[in-house]
Amino acid sequence: MGQGLARTGRFAPLLKASSTSARPRHGPGVGPWHPHMMLYTPYYENSMLGGNQVGGMLPFVGDDAGTPFAVTVIPVAHELAVKTQVR
């Protein structure tokens, strides 16, 4: 579906996922990273967002750039992350 919409110039449906925890756990061997949001952006290239550094604090398109599976990552400032509270 995304491929057809991208080729016709119509807007593809937006899908979102996020990891806004102040202490994200991404599994063994990955380690912590910034809180972030991810948007499904089929066929996006990193250059469409300004060619920002992958892994930096500005939005970037991940390693599937230019494919129907492209995902844009939007880092979130740590001050805005969800923090747990001890009661």
Q: Is 27 inside a domain boundary?
A: no
Q: Are 10 and 37 in contact (CB under 8 A)?
A: no
Whether 82 is covered by a domain: the verdict is yes
Residue 72's domain comprises 1-17+55-87
pTM of the prediction?
A: 0.66
Average pLDDT, the chain: 76
What average pLDDT does range 22-49 have in this prediction? 78
Contact 46, 63 (CB under 8 A): no
Domain membership flag for residue 40: no
Report the pLDDT averaged over residues 15-42.
70
In a domain, 80, yes or no: yes
44 falls within a domain: no
Does 22 reside within a domain? Answer: no
pLDDT value for 51: 95
Please give the tally of structural domains in the chain: 1
Q: Looking at residues 68-85, what average pLDDT do you find?
A: 82
* Mean pLDDT along residues 1-9: 48
Q: Report yes or no on 74 lying in a domain.
A: yes
